[in-house]
Structure 1
């Protein structure tokens, strides 16, 4: 699963990925961002524009905000779940992060844990495949654009920390994932598992410690 990420400020993201930046867009960096907050993304609807979507997807057909977890979507269930299947081939997005956090259990009672920041090697940003949707709050008329991060079984690098991980993307695969001109089977191939040694994992003593975090970069 993926429940905490780190993100850069909007100017750094837009410049680093050559994305259009709205004039009124003000989003600071956040080194410990949880679900419900807004994630930076580019989508198949606007692949050249930096957008921010609520992290926890609300399906368009929902009568209210889901009471169950929707910040992650298992790749194994995408074509079956009512929350995700209507989005496949239609509403894909790429989440832009500096990395994500996982905790390694250090004892059987899980009283001691070591936090790790995990990111892609040799890439300025760690990109994750996602799905997005737009929901109308019928009580207020508010439009809410939201997203979920797709997860898969952990690869060899991640297994010692967790049995799941986000579907991480190279720049090439990120562009494939949001390319509406391609058929869905071709886009799904972009979610292929990472090869070994494509990740780097840095220990951190306290998630959210700005000074320690910046020393990692």
Structure 2
């Protein structure tokens, strides 16, 4: 599973890497983070709504931890920061988003903890070439119905996970679904079939490298470049 990641990409990095046509003003207010945790606001790449041209992408902001439209309150999102690829099409919490609201969650890298006889060891995992990661994501909109028709809508998102592959199994049994340029296009396309979407998240991940980092990353109070530094 993915419960912590880093995103220190600039707005221009995101625009260039993900071929974004329009970035919301809220994106500019997001600071870089080396310790993104559930319930925090994060940038997401979404397909533009009609009548925008097919394939146009927008950069928006969502709270990490998906809140279904039918939820009574947004607290449920703190538990739904990941969506398993094997069940996302059927689970009531994710199936509507899987059918209609798919996104990319950009990242510089992510953290995973390996459990051993001496406890849990955190690792920072990132592309070998330093390029941005494109996590497959789902997003939803929620508002407090008790507050009336004028209540503001809240966007939230979840990161899709798959069974770990190859060397990644040495660290954890799950990993984020990481999209390639081609699979990202299929993931965001309005007319992709369920089979094509499952193929997109099953596509091989980019070449990854990892190193052990300090356990300070385990606390949300800590944030800074030192968190991704290799442990001496």
Q: Give 2:173's match in structure 1, choosing from 155, 163, 167.
A: 163
State the aligned residue count.
212
TM-score (norm 1): 0.86
Q: Give 2:208's match in structure 1, choosing from 195, 199, 204.
A: 199
What is the DSSP-based 3-state SS (H/G/I as helix, E as strand, rest coil) of the residue aligned with 2:161? strand
Q: 1:4 to 1:152 in 2, by over 3 A?
A: same
More off after superposition, 157-166 vs 10-19: 10-19
What is the DSSP-based 3-state SS (H/G/I as helix, E as strand, rest coil) of the residue aligned with 2:79? coil
Per-residue deviation, 1:36: 0.3
Q: CA RMSD in A?
A: 2.4
- Unaligned 5+ runs, structure 2: 50-55, 218-222
For residues 160-182 of structure 1, the C-alpha deviation after alignment (integer angstroms, 9 at most, x for no partner) is 11111111111221111001133
Alignment partners' CA distance in 2, 1:120 and 1:156: 15
What is the aligned partner in structure 2 of residue 182 from structure 1?
192
Q: Give 2:225's match in structure 1, choosing from 201, 210, 213.
A: 210
What is the aligned partner in structure 2 of residue 132 from structure 1?
139
- Unaligned 5+ runs, structure 1: none
Alignment partners' CA distance in 2, 1:16 and 1:129: 15
1:64 matched to 2:70: no
1:116 matched to 2:131: no
For residues 144-203 of structure 1, the C-alpha deviation after alignment (integer angstroms, 9 at most, x for no partner) is 1111111111112211111111111112211110011332322221111536x8221122
More off after superposition, 97-106 vs 115-124: 115-124
Q: Give 2:23's match in structure 1, choosing from 21, 27, 33.
A: 21
What is the aligned partner in structure 2 of residue 40 from structure 1?
43
Question: Is this contact kept in 2: 1:6–1:30, CA < 8 A?
Answer: yes
Q: What is the 5 A alignment of 1:3-22?
A: 3-8=3-8, 9-19=10-20, 20-22=22-24
Q: Give 1:96's match in structure 2, choosing from 94, 102, 106.
A: 106
More off after superposition, 171-180 vs 42-51: 42-51
Runs of 4+ in 1 over 4 A off after TM superposition: none
Question: Is this contact kept in 2: 1:155–1:193, CA < 8 A?
Answer: no
Bigger helix fraction:
2
